[in-house]
Amino acid sequence: MKWPLQVVPRFIFFRQLTRFGLLTLSPLPFSSYGNDLWEIIRLNQGKALRKDWPYNYQTFLPEEALKSFHRIFPEFQSEDAFLISILKEAFLEDYEFEKTFYSEKNHLSPHLSSLFLDGLNEVEAYFYKFYFPDYFGEISQDDIHRYRPVIEKYYQFYDQIIGKYLATLKDNELLVIYSPHGVEPLSLWKRVVEWLFGNSSISADHDLGPDGVVFFFGKEVARGKNIGYISLTDLAPTILYYLGLPVARDMDGIVRSTVFTPSFTAENPIFYITTYEK
């Protein structure tokens, strides 16, 4: 070819390649020589646990995983429709991933640990139209009644997970819960494209979705305080500050010290270094 192939919009093309097994997704390697948060912790003789990508999903799970699914979604115990298979796979992946993380965290007692769960993102993509049917065309009332509670119940599943970590949170620990983005109804042209590619069940995505949210929990966190805007890039320097480690001046984010109580910030000034670059 004389000219490179132009694919617009690219996400549609690459998504279909993935669906047909012609493309495998993997994390983008960093070209920078800078140390990330995990390496900084290790360089300071700390232990870190990171469970995010890829999911280590096992097809055959313990019976307790299915029991948990049926406990939260008892109406789908004997149903094996396409939408239910999407829901069940998302749930079982999250369940197994979190269970493995919790076990490793208790065994290693890391200074920093991170768990990424992707199930809700998948569930919202397929069940959004039942929760907000006014944004879409004709949807049967039976389907709305049957599937509308799914997203709310999945949030309850996540609430149970969060509650487990809050119940075991120590006085010197900080729990940060965040979602990098919200979701929005799939635009009309995207619905047409998904329909053309045989994936008409998708009803939401996050390309132009609302901003995400972040919550801080811990003894030293200022309770009930809304700090306004915060960027994901602020999390790394803020966590370093809480751990008593220096913050590099060339980091993208800043320390959001207003997250913490005045007594904590008074006793713990911010220490800076020039860089963590290698």
- One-character DSSP codes across 199-211: -TT--EESTTPPE
Task: Tell me what pLDDT residue 60 has.
Answer: 56
Task: Tell me what pLDDT residue 28 has.
Answer: 63
**Whole-prediction pTM:** 0.82
Inside any domain, residue 95: yes
What DSSP designation does 167 have? Answer: H
Task: Tell me what pLDDT residue 177 has.
Answer: 96
Inside any domain, residue 205: yes
DSSP string, 122-162: HHHHHHHHHHSGGGSS---HHHHHHHTHHHHHHHHHHHHHH
Inside any domain, residue 252: no
Inside any domain, residue 230: no
Would you say 159 and 139 are in contact if contact means Cβ atoms under 8 Å apart? no
Question: What whole-number distance in Å separates Cα of residue 105 and Cα of residue 168?
Answer: 12
Q: Tell me, what amino acid is at 191?
A: R
The per-residue pLDDT for range 79-124, each reduced to its tens digit, is 778 999 999 999 999 998 999 999 999 999 999 999 999 999 999 9
| CA-derived radius of gyration, the chain | 22
Inside any domain, residue 91: yes
Inside any domain, residue 175: no
Task: Tell me what pLDDT residue 34 has.
Answer: 62
Question: What whole-number distance in Å separates Cα of residue 173 and Cα of residue 268?
Answer: 15
Percent of the chain at pLDDT exceeding 70: 84
Domain count, the chain: 1
Which residue range is the domain that position 71 belongs to? 63-170+183-209
Inside any domain, residue 270: no
Q: For strand 175-181 and strand 211-217, is the pairing parallel, antiparallel, or unpaired? A: antiparallel
Inside any domain, residue 131: yes
Percent of the chain at pLDDT exceeding 90: 56
